[in-house]
Amino acid sequence: MSTADMEVVIDFEYLRGRQSEFVVKELSVLAKNMIDSFRFKSPNSMTPHGSDENGLNWEDGQIAYHDLYMVVNEAVAWFALLYCYDIKKCKFLT
């Protein structure tokens, strides 16, 4: 198995939560022969609104937010080398 087969890139779009924390709305995983994307529901009940910056809306999503950890773990389970852009996003994923 080549090194390229063991690499995966993770990126996500987020909104800001009540205390300005990251709230992941869409997570993407890209590897040599795989592209996958996941959209999460809001972690809290709130009035519908979104972000002018990235066009995301709190109402969008199919996956319960409490499943974020499980989804990330399963999406990258077979990869030895994980890459993420932006130090803040890397810290969040860690």
Residue 42's pLDDT is what?
A: 81
**Whole-model pTM over 0.75:** yes
Residue 15's pLDDT is what?
A: 80
Segment 32-89, tens digit of pLDDT: 888 999 999 888 766 656 566 666 666 778 899 999 999 999 999 989 999 999 999 9
C-alpha distances in Å from residue 70, one per residue of 2, 40, 75, 77, 86: 27, 12, 8, 10, 22
Angle at 50 between CA 67 and CA 86, to 5 degrees: 65
Residue 3 banded pLDDT, cuts 50, 70, 90: low
